[in-house]
Structure 1
Amino acid sequence: MSSVPAWLNSSSFSPRARSPPETPPETPPPPRPPLVEALVERADPLMQAGSSGQQEEATSHDVSRSESSRAEQLQAELEKPRIDLNALRQLATQGIPDSGGIRAVVWKLLLGYLPRIRSQWEEELAKKREQYAQFSQELIVNPSEKSRASEASDGDLPSGGELRRESVEGDHPLASGQASVWHQFFQDTELWEQIDRDVKRTHPDLPFFNGADGGSNENQGALGRILFIFAKLNPGIKYVQGMNEVLAPLLYIFRTDPDDKNKEHAEADAFFCFVELLSDFRDHFCQQLDNSEVGIRATITRLSNLLKQRDEELWLHLNVKIQINPQFYAFRWITLLLTQEFDFPDCLRLWDTLLSNKDGPLEILLRLCCAMVICIRTRLLGGDFTDNLKLLQNYPSTDIDGIIVTADRLRL
């Protein structure tokens, strides 16, 4: 069995706080590795000597000052004529401050929606937004309106128009032909109903998606339209339950952009960024590929192998001793990009790192998932099948930055 790094055995990775010893030890403990030291200071204030209110206030001030400095650095990068993506990634992976719409612009750049040449942004955005408007007009169709439009366009045509008019007149709600717009309409209705059920369940605790005002209804409508258009343009995948959760952070960030023009076109921007993001994960949503080399089961196996390589003791306990199949918890983690495991602000922070990875989001996603398991290893090693399955399927509140730092240490 490979040796386990000392820092992995630290109880600082457990969300349970530890009480300080009543009497100091006779001999000082061996120094902790820097990673554990940092995690203990963040996650376990009881371990700090004299954690007074003044110290907490000073720490909060330091964090605020650090975020302000990072916001200035990000803004400086965004104002350059040619964006340095490597520099942008290095800053964004540390967390993007929630101010000035910076996160919205940075995410669009990291996802490849905005070009690196700043002078091309306006033209590219106008083109994409017009394209989305065309998608909406062509794919979201009322058959009655389409029939009236066809009749109007055929009115002055003598022969060809007569044939087309007969076709329109024969296209009615009871028509069963595959070419019938009504037949397609009823098929679309089934798709709309499936999407609508999931959209209404999206983040029920957030007023943005489920508030009492009309704004949340419009946001739900935007989610539904994006998912419907995506399904129509991707018949091989269509819509799969859970896509709404992956789309939600994008729409939220773009629609809360303080720039009014960007906010107005948030739906179009979210659609194209959703397409870009899903290009790295679309095989996970295709059931026919589940058992292939690119399917979800192969990805879960990669996660299991990473855990075995980095912490064989914990891997043996979970997979051999108590026999928890990684699919029981990792399927949701991976397919939904961790959107259901943490509070929404923490999810946005994780996505800053997820989208900033130069090797692609899947590689860092697997390391983040592995880090999540390792960060609660003390509790997992002491638990049985039932306790551990419940723990992994209902991940406890923890230090997000600690998970990100641990994931970085797992880099191959």
Structure 2
Amino acid sequence: MENKILKYDFLIVGSGLIGSLLAISLIKKKHKVLVIEKEKISNKYDDQRTLAINANSRDFLESIDMWRDLKKEQKDINQIIIKTHYQENESLIFENNNETMGSVIFNKDLLAKSHKYLLKKKSLLDKTLVGLEELNKQKIIKIKNKTYNFEKVIIATGKEIQKKVNPKYFFKGSSGHRAYVGFFYHSFNHNNKAYEYFTKNGPLAALPAPYKNNTYSTFIYSTKDEISFVELKNIIKKNFYKTHGKINLSKDFFSYKISPYLFNSINVFENLIFLGDCSRSIHPVAGQGWNLGIKDIQGLNKLIETEGLSSKNFNKLFYYQRKFESSIYFFFTEIINKTYNSNSPITKFFGKASLKVLKNFNFIREVFVQQAMGKNKIFD
């Protein structure tokens, strides 16, 4: 007796935030979805990292009913304040009078809620691994003694894609930085303000942390130098003592190598769709990496509505539509990082000039505000 073939609209490989949220959005639109995860799904979520969610991503989470519980624990971002090391006495302020710029939450809270939903729908299988080559070659796949036929296969396994694919298919950036991420406690109220300081050795950002009181902040600092805890503590104190008061840096920080890239996936896996950090990784200077993953989800859902899953050009249309915005952010963050971390007279001139334009021309500044909030329609 032949095995019964189970027909599904989507197979999603990877149950991280982007893969899980995509699955939820598709299920709510009555699509049949299966998510597979190579690791064991635990009911313990110990990840202490935070997530900066822009206004567009927050709206998306509300649309799939994932925000209602989270908003009780989140911290709003009302202003983004930008400074450079060669104009320390001047600042550029991004804010919106109609709504907050974004929010900060803990990764684990959103991931736990997403997994709970998928497990309840019986749409998530853990400890399951299928190779990319196999997924690219055929729609009928055997998973845990069951045979499936998937209309579309989506890969959302994050940056580990670099370990599985020939490097020639990646366009690499020139960062060479390490990112240092953690928390610090301070005596002043942060007043729901986020800060981006372009120091001599790299960009440093501080955001309100999602704790009950307003005396905890999260930071990310990227630099080419390897630094100790004491050095990192001194950098945080030097740059934030005026705005945050007395500072105590938590020892529970971590670091990782920043490796920006664009993945030319259509040239190697034409039958697969790549989302989030699978398709690109950008320097965290703009704080938009995860939010671009949400734009991927929104773009995919929109393409389903306009083209339908049976469209022969579906995968290519999605790839080239999302490649445009990904490339803009990729090169923009590369330029920003080099411009404001340079001490050459030419880059200083252009850096000062760009800040002056943004400060003095409301229309241009509003474009950047809308872009930071994820609500600029130019890429839609």
- Same topology, TM > 0.5: no
Looking at secondary structure, tell me which structure has more strand per residue. Answer: 2
TM-score, normalisation: structure 2: 0.26
Larger radius of gyration: 1
Looking at secondary structure, tell me which structure has more helix per residue. Answer: 1
